[in-house]
Amino acid sequence: MAETVTIEKIYQWLEEVKDPEIPVLSLLDLGVITNVSIGDKVKIEMTPTFVGCPAIDYMKNDIVDTLKKHGQEAEVEVTFRKPWSSDCISEKGKAALKKYGLAPPPDNKLFTDLEILENAECPRCSQTNTELKNPFGPTLCRAIYYCNNCKEAFEQFKPV
Amino acid sequence: MNQEAIKELLYKMADDQLILGHRNSEWTGFGPLLEEDIAFSSMAQDKVGHSLALYTILNDLGEQDPDTIAFTRNADQFHNTVLTELPNAEYDFSLIRHFLYDTAEALRFEMLSHSSFEPLALVATKVRGELRYHTMHANTWVKQLGAATEESIGRLQQSLELALPYALGIFEPSPYESDLIKEAIFEGEKALEEKWKKKVEEVIAQTQLHLPKWETIAPHYGGRTGKHTEYLQPLLDEMSEVFKIDPTAEW
């Protein structure tokens, strides 16, 4: 028999589900889990970082598999009711991104034009003597920068 | 709410995204710079994703599933504007098309984020944030190359004049225009066109390019009602080639 399940327990288990492309970041820290409820089965609502994110099905299956491991049948619904923005990434998540070598996104509310995108903070040396090389990167959520201090390229999780 | 009006709006938007997304993807491996290769490939992925989100709304309204809609229709069943289906040609044309189309698209999604049709308003609210990167990319390059060398200015000018009649075709009047406006689903093609002209003028004014007077440009209509050029069907054949080998395959 599975133990009595609580919302808190589900959130604890969801901490085990990581972003498939950034394995240091849990889906909770990424901010894509928008609701958890328990009825006949566990119902999870999630929302994509980018609408065209190809990892969304992978994440969905990962949630179902992880909860199954804990004896729970889960249903995952992808919705845009609470749209994701990069401000949804938790402080813990932002710290994990930086440690992983990806510059965390600046406050999205500040982003109105190109200027805010210049001078991102380098995740290695923490200097802002950097240049935006390309607002598009290897995945939809990343931009490419160059650090004039380290003389090396780095990627940033884009503010959106 | 007028379902037929909503469907017409969704189909033309989704088809635009899918077809231009496919064209953008044709730059993968061929960009003039690695950065542009990545940019067009990324925008392709975004656009195909946006089309999926819109086809999913259509599916919820009783239309067929997204893959069937995307891969099994013929050219005359597509509602994309002709601008999106034209071949990539050289980079200058692709850039100008990207600028003209994405400027309109960003405004359209911005307007639709206030739509009374909630599923569309939710998707639009999300998509408009992503589109800032597309318009920023287009504006940056048009401003830069539109004021760089004689060759870059000349090429962009030529492409601009070629693309403008098709760009005006984006705003082909819809038979449901008044229904959409009345029900606050969408402010309409006319209102969008006016906003778009202002935005295009604003960016072109920062270059050495010359914008012909709007009234001298004859819009190329037809795409919204399935009248396409000979370029669309080969694109669809290529896009659906793998799907058609086994339409029931699980991916």
Tens digits of per-residue pLDDT, A23-61?
Answer: 999 999 999 999 999 998 999 999 999 999 889 999 999
Q: Which residues in chain A are contacts of B41 at CB distance < 8 A?
A: 136
Average pLDDT value for chain B = 97
Place of tokens 């800032």: B132
Q: Which residues in chain A are contacts of B49 at CB distance < 8 A?
A: 50-53, 140
pLDDT of residue A114: 54
Of the candidate ranges A128-132, B192-196, B210-214, B238-242, the one whose mean pLDDT is the lowest: A128-132
Cβ pair A136:B42 closer than 8 A? yes
Domain residue extents for chain A: 7-78, 100-157
Superfamily of domain B3-245: Ferritin, core subunit, four-helix bundle (1.20.1260.10)
Q: Which residue of B has its CA nearest to A114?
A: B136
Q: Does A160 touch chain B (CB under 8 A)?
A: yes
Contact (CB, 8 A) for B52 and B66 = yes
Cβ pair A134:B39 closer than 8 A? yes
User: What ipTM is given for this predicted complex?
Assistant: 0.87
pLDDT of residue B169: 98
Q: Does A115 touch chain B (CB under 8 A)?
A: no
Strand partners, A145: A132, A154
Spell out a b/e string for A137-149, using b for 16 or more CB atoms within 10 Å of the CB, else e. bebbbbbbbbbee
> Does the pLDDT value for residue B66 go beyond 60?
yes
Cβ pair A83:B125 closer than 8 A? yes
**Which amino acid would we find at residue A114?**
L
The C-alpha atoms of residue A28 and residue A76 are separated, in whole angstroms, by 14
Cβ pair A52:B126 closer than 8 A? no
The C-alpha atoms of residue A105 and residue B48 are separated, in whole angstroms, by 24
Q: Which of B181, B179, B227, B199 lies closest to B12 in space, CA to CA?
A: B227
Question: Sorting pLDDT into bands at 50, 70 and 90, what band is A111?
Answer: low
Q: Residue B39 has what DSSP assignment?
A: H
Domain residue extents for chain B: 3-245
> How is residue B130 written in tokens?
């992503």
Interface A-B: count of C-beta contacts within 8 A: 71
Query: What average pLDDT does this structure show over B58-85?
Result: 97
B101: left (phi over 0), alpha (psi -120 to 50) or beta: alpha
**pLDDT tens, residue by residue, B186-224:** 999 999 999 999 999 999 999 999 999 999 999 999 999
Residue A13: CB partners within 8 Å, gap ≥ 6? A66, A67, A70, A72
Question: Sorting pLDDT into bands at 50, 70 and 90, what band is A110?
Answer: low
**pLDDT tens, residue by residue, B10-60:** 999 999 999 999 999 999 999 999 999 999 999 999 999 999 999 999 999
> Nearest by CB to B126, which of A54, A80, A136?
A80
Class assignment of domain A7-78?
alpha beta
Q: What percent of chain A lies above the pLDDT cut of 90? A: 75
Q: Which residue of B has its CA nearest to A52?
A: B49
> Does the pLDDT value for residue A1 go beyond 50?
no
Query: What average pLDDT does this structure show over A89-106?
Result: 94
